[in-house]
Amino acid sequence: MAAVIFGVFWQVLMPIVLAAGLGYLLARRIHLPSQHLSRVAFYILSPCLLFDKLSHSSLSGSQLGQIATFAVATMLGTALLAWMAARALRSSRSQTAAFVLAALAGNTGNYGLAANQFAFGPAALEPAVVYYAVSTLMIATLGVYVVSAGQQGAAAALRSLWRVPLTYAGVLGVAVWATGVPVPVPVERTASLLGQGAIPVMLVLLGVQLAGVRLQNSLTRISLAAAVKLLGGMAVGLLVAHWMGLSGLTRQSSVLQASMPTAVMATVLADEYHAEAAFTAGVVMASTLGSLVTLTLLLSFLI
């Protein structure tokens, strides 16, 4: 059993650690700002990856619907656990919002896509990308609404959905998949080429982003929030997958995505809306480090 666990860590997670580590070292060495890489990944590479995978997807309509439903259910379930934990600690309104945001914003892009590809092969990217797209849209709407603590309002949060490039890439990808309309060769090859760069760039970006994160005080709250995201997300993912009857690669990929640590995007939103940014950054760092243990054990179970 120990050999299996070590093999999973060595073959699946160690490449992610090394790639992110190079980004971390680069950022520490030359003080590389993450905004430039982040915008390239967010506005170009990720939408191209989503369009490429959806337009060529072998998933059925029911499978796409299942994965999207699973993503929404697991994110809401984990967020509910975080809300309960924050209320048990008698947290303030802004602290509660930060707890919920940290649970909603899973690192399903930088970390999740690479982990799925290394663990289950290229075919796992299809369901993983669907989860990633849904989670991004959830963060852009519900996440913004939660962290703004009512300052922005539901209408403004929903309007932010149309500023997310993945929205358009997803709609176009599903339209091509559903209708079978041929994509012009230059467009198809451009999307494929740029999509292939999404995962390596996002892994380097993860390291660059983590280089700017510092653990702060309130280690008890940070540890609890990280545990809710990692262990709560894993438990909710396994329960929802069982309840929905997911199996095979769809179950493996979706549960892994639900178990990802908190994404740096949570810190960006918390800082933008003045909602416990230092605490959220601590959760990002703690959950990312803790995921090396939790995801190793989960993968040993799933594989």
CATH number at residue 79: 1.20.1530.20
Q: What is the pLDDT of residues 198-215, one digit of tens each?
A: 999 999 988 888 887 776
Tokens standing for residue 30: 């030359």
Higher per-residue confidence, 242 vs 278? 242
DSSP 142: I
- Of 212, 235, 232, the closest CA to residue 282 belongs to 212
- Determine the angle formed by the axes of helices 14-30 and 198-210, rounding to 10 degrees: 60
DSSP state of 163: G
What is the reported pTM? 0.91
57 or 73, which is more confident: 73
Question: Mean pLDDT throughout 98-118?
Answer: 94
Query: Is residue 274's pLDDT more than 80?
Result: no
The mean pLDDT value for 281-285 works out to 90
The number of folded domains in the chain is 1
Domain with 253 in it: 2-302
Q: CB-based contacts of 6: which residues, under 8 Å, 6+ apart?
A: none
Alpha helices by DSSP H, listed for 44-92, are 46-55, 61-88
Burial of 58 (0-12, 13-18, 19+ CB in 10 A): exposed
Which residue type is seen at 140? Answer: A
Indicate the burial class of 249 (C-beta count within 10 angstroms; 0-12, 13-18, 19 or more): middle
Residue 213: predicted pLDDT: 78
